[in-house]
Structure 1
Amino acid sequence: MTKKIQILIIGHNQNGITPKTEKIAYETGMEVAKSGAVLITGGLEGVMKAASHGAKDGGGITVGIIPQNEPSPANEYCDIVIPSGMGLARDFLNALSGDGVIIIGGGAGTLSETCAAYMHNKPIVAIKNSGGIAEKYADTYLDHRKNVLITGVSSPKEAVKVLLEKINSV
């Protein structure tokens, strides 16, 4: 049996999501499902919920790795809930669980996950028109080491296509 590719989508929580970002996240989740990959998110609200909703509507499998120590805070679109009990340290668990990462908007928590993925040389794609961390770091490196170029893309379809190409070339 071949392991399924796991794509982590990160971005704004409920405090920062806009209708535009929510639509982008939903469509990206749908594209992940269409690709046959497993969607991983932080399992809560905002981009996490919208992406999970899109993946579920697309017939995909969704995993939510939440910071709490019991499953009830997870959004209703998570097939599998992993209550990490790790608080914000779960950002590293999320980053290491994905074969690659798609950034949609995002603030400090998203940056934390991006840094964790970057330090572990995970392929990273940022949707440029989604605001926040995604726009700020699209087409750049996080530091002088140039571990991973965060590739900027313009659509959910392109995000999944480019990320899968990067994952499959590793």
Structure 2
Amino acid sequence: MVKKRQILVIGHNTNGCTPEHEKIAYDVGMEIAKSNSVLICGGLGGVMTAAAHGASDGGGLTIGIIPQNDPSMANEFCDIVIPTGMGLARDFLNALSADGVIIIGGGSGTLSETAAAYMYKKPMVAIRNLGGPVVPFIDGFIDQRENVKIIGVDTAQEAVKKILELITA
């Protein structure tokens, strides 16, 4: 049996998540399901809910790695919930669980997950023109180590296509 690819989707939680973010996240989730990959997210609201919803509607498997210790805190579209009880430290679990990361806008939590993925040299793709703290690093590196370039794309379809190329490269 071949291991399924695991793609982490990160971005705005409920606060700051716009209908545009939700639509793109939903489409990313749908594309992940179509690719027969597993969607991993932080399991909460905003981009996480929308991406898990898209993957669920596409018949895919969704995993929510939540910071709380109560699994009922996860959004309704998480097939598997991993309640860590670790608070924000769970950002490292999210990054380490992924073969690749797709970034959709976001805030400081997204930046934390991005930095964790960067330190572990996980392939990353960010969707352009959605704001967030990762904007200055799109098509570049976070620091002088140049661990992994954050590739900018314009659509959900491009994001999944590119992350799959980077994972299998």
TM-score relative to the length of structure 2: 0.98
Q: Distance in 1 between matches of 2:164 and 2:28?
A: 13
Q: Distance in 1 between matches of 2:136 and 2:22?
A: 18
Residue ranges of structure 1 left out of the alignment (5+ in a row): none
Q: Distance in 1 between matches of 2:131 and 2:20?
A: 10
Q: Secondary structure at the match of 2:72?
A: coil
Aligned amino acid, residue 103 of structure 2: I
Which residue of the partner structure matches residue 36 of structure 1?
36
Contact 1:128 1:134 in 2 (8 A): no
Residue ranges of structure 2 left out of the alignment (5+ in a row): none
1:1-170 to structure 2, matched below 5 A, reads: 1-169=1-169
Q: Distance in 1 between matches of 2:86 and 2:148?
A: 26
How high is the sequence identity, in percent, across the aligned residues?
69
Q: Distance in 2 between matches of 1:139 and 1:68?
A: 33
Contact 1:66 1:82 in 2 (8 A): yes
Contact 1:103 1:133 in 2 (8 A): no
Aligned amino acid, residue 116 of structure 1: A
Contact 1:38 1:61 in 2 (8 A): yes
Aligned amino acid, residue 75 of structure 2: N
CA drift of 1:90 comes to 0.1
Aligned amino acid, residue 57 of structure 2: D
Contact 1:126 1:150 in 2 (8 A): yes
Q: Distance in 1 between matches of 2:83 and 2:165?
A: 31
Q: Secondary structure at the match of 2:33?
A: helix
Q: Distance in 1 between matches of 2:94 and 2:7?
A: 10
Cα RMSD for the two superposed structures: 0.8
Q: Secondary structure at the match of 1:130?
A: coil
Aligned amino acid, residue 158 of structure 1: E
CA drift of 1:129 comes to 2.3
Q: Distance in 2 between matches of 1:102 and 1:72?
A: 25
Query: Displaced runs of 4+ in structure 1, greater than 6 A?
Result: none
TM-score relative to the length of structure 1: 0.98
